[in-house]
Structure 1
């Protein structure tokens, strides 16, 4: 019995340590999206040549980061105060916020599972992914 209690205590401590500061964790994850999207934007605009391998590598990295975005863990009750740019609206309509995150994850995953072979396809995918970012920031980011 003591072993079970000890094991459970260690699991709780590990989980708490992993997300000790949800504000810092979510900010770090959000900041990881920027450079990836920034590397893809010039390609989507036609300012940089389309290279299918480079685009897929960036989309894969974006997908890896996007799949780490766990709304309940990163936006727990009470994490709406402090050094955050997250709007209180997130906690007022958590279901919509989760739905926007789910759509973002799905669109990024779809772009990876069906890699763009040409610029036009990539532009369509990038517009959907970027639209998800914009919709969420418009509704849920403090200015």
Structure 2
């Protein structure tokens, strides 16, 4: 009985992973949730609501860097609609610009990761990095 339950659970987890991998809208939403959570944590540090912690700051930048590399690959033509996406048509109309925006984000994250060594430098680096978010959302996201 226990073996049957474990096998069923294993299959369910495996199927969930395959579904997520074959659903770019779900994958990009999940990646952006991670970015949002990292941003909330970083904003608390920048505002002085949480203490500066170099390890946490580097974890934030790592999350951003991973998203910068992964997210642009999650916009195949087949994902223009469905899944309650807020992706604007501009992504597919200007795919080169969209990819360039993420490349800039990635470069800024790499620089920020190297320069954010204390609260003051973190605040500057975090501000520079998050400007990318606003610019991309203005151009490539449907406003609700």
Q: Distance in 1 between matches of 2:54 and 2:89?
A: 40
Q: How far apart are residue 125 of structure 1 and its match? A: 0.9
Alpha-carbon offset, residue 20 of structure 1: 1.5
Structure 1 residue 17, shift from structure 2 partner = 7.2
Query: Are the aligned partners of 2:68 and 2:103 in contact in 1 as well (CA < 8 Å)?
Result: no
1:8 alignment counterpart: none
In structure 2, the partner of 1:94 is 95
Structure 2: segments with no counterpart, 5+ residues: 1-17
Match of 1:34 among 14, 27, 36: 36
Q: Which runs of 4+ in 1 moved over 6 A?
A: none
Between structures 1 and 2, the one with greater helix share: 2
Question: TM-score, with normalisation over the residues of structure 1?
Answer: 0.77
Task: Give the equivalent residue in structure 2 for 1:25.
Answer: 27
Bigger relative contact order (CA 8 A; separation at least 6): 1
2:69–2:102 contact (8 Å) kept in structure 1 = no
Q: TM-score, normalised by structure 2?
A: 0.76
How well do the aligned residues superpose, as a CA RMSD in angstroms?
Answer: 2.0
Task: Give yes or no for contact 1:56–1:115 (8 Å, CA) kept in 2.
Answer: no
